[in-house]
Amino acid sequence: MVNDDKIFNGMEEVIKSRINNALLIKGKTGIPQELIEKHTATVKLNKNEKGIGISIYNGLVCRMKYKSPFKGQINIGDIVMFLNGSLVHFEKKDNVQSKHFGTLAQEMLSKDSPTLEIGFIRLKSRLLDVPVPKGFTATEDYKTDTVFVYLYSFMKFGLHVQKVMGTAIVSYTTPISISSISFNIGETILTVDDKKVDCIEQIKERIREGCIEKGFARVTVTYPAIDILRNSVRNQINTAAREIERPIYSIGEDARKFAQSGITAVKTAAEPKSILRLTKKQDATPTGDVNSKQIKTSLIGFRNSVGEHDIPSEWNSKLFVWLPPMKTADSEKNGGFQASSVYKKPLN
C-alpha cells in the first residue's frame, strides 16, 4: 500500500460525493480533509486467480475474502475510486467521465497474470496517545486514544459493552461491522465528543448526534499498555491482517521441542504409537481349559449383564426417576396396591 495523491489531484468534489454515498449519515459540515487518507494498492495476480476477493457496495468495501490478493492492503470501510489509473463508478455514477468497476475489472482479469492497482480513500479511524479528557485522572501504564467513528451504509453498528464500576468496557465487536473497524476488545470508553458515557444507550445516542452534526463522532478510549499477553495478541492480529506477507513468529522453548517432534513425524509419515494398550487372551486348549499362564486383565471391557443398584436418598437430582415395583400375582391378591398419585418408596 502506497500513499499516492497524484491520481487524486483535482478530484475534491468527486471524493466528497463518494464519501457521502458511503456514509449513512453525512453530517452538516462534512468530513474534514485531515481525516481523509488517499492510498493505492498494487498486486500481480497469478494465472489461476480469476477474482480479487472483495465485495464492494456503491464504492464501499464491505466484505473481503481471507485469500484475497489485496488482503492486508485494503480494509473493510475503504472507498474505491480508481482501477489501474481509471476513475470508476458503481451503482451511482458521478457527473464526471468514469468506467464501471465490474466491467473494467473483468477486462483486466481476462489477461494472463494481470497487474491491478486500486486507488482508494480511507477515513482516519484512530489518533494515538492523546491527553486524558477533563474529569478523568490519568492512570499509570494506561494509554489513551481518540477513535473516529463513522456510520457507514450497508453495515451494522455491532458494539457490545459491559458496564463495570461505572465505566463501559468493550466486550465484543460484531465481525464486519462499524465497531470492528474502530474499537478493540478490552478498551474502556470514556467520552463521546467530550461527553462522559457509561452505557451502550448513551454511546449510541452521542455517536448518532455527532454524525448528524459533522459526519463523525470522536470517542476517547483507554486501555492498559503493560498487558503483555493482550497487547502481543492484538499486535500480531493487526500485523497479520495488514501486512502483505505474514511474519514468522518465534516459538517458545517449551513448545519448540514438541512442535519439532510433530513436524518430524509428519515428514517421515511414521505411524504414531497407540496410546491404547490391550492384552490379548491366550487361545483355549482343545479340552476347553485355559492355559495355566496368568492372563492379564484388560484395561477396558464390557459387562454381559445390566447391574441394578439402588439410588441413595440423599441424591437429589432430576436425572433419577423412581419407578413403582412390578405387579406380581401376590401383589394383586385382594386388591393389592391401590392407585396413588404420589408414589412412596416402600420400606425394606
For residue range 186-217, list pLDDT tens digits in order: 899 999 999 999 899 999 999 999 999 999 99
CA dihedral (334, 339, 342, 348) in degrees, to 10, reads 20
Query: How does residue 36 score in pLDDT terms, banded at 50, 70 and 90?
Result: very high
What pTM was computed for the model?
Answer: 0.61
Q: Is the pLDDT of residue 338 over 60?
A: no
Question: Which CATH number is associated with domain 6-123?
Answer: 2.30.42.10
Q: Are 45 and 109 in contact (CB under 8 A)?
A: yes
Q: For the segment 74-104, what is each residue's pLDDT rounded down to a tens digit? A: 999 999 999 988 888 887 666 667 788 888 8
Secondary element (H or E) of residue 99: strand 99-100
- The residues, ordered by sequence, that sit 6+ positions from 340 with a Cβ below 8 Å of its Cβ are none
In whole angstroms, what is the distance from residue 153 CA to residue 157 CA?
Answer: 10
Distance, C-alpha 44 to centroid of its chain: 28
Q: Are 149 and 216 in contact (CB under 8 A)?
A: yes
List Cβ<8 Å contacts ≥24 apart for 298-303: none
Nearest to 77 by CA among 65, 62, 64, 91: 62
Q: How many residues make up the chain in this entry?
A: 348
Q: Which CATH architecture has domain 126-242?
A: Roll (2.30)
CATH 2.30.42.10 in the chain: give the residue spans: 6-123, 126-242
In whole angstroms, what is the distance from residue 116 CA to residue 49 CA?
Answer: 12
Mean pLDDT of 117-125: 92
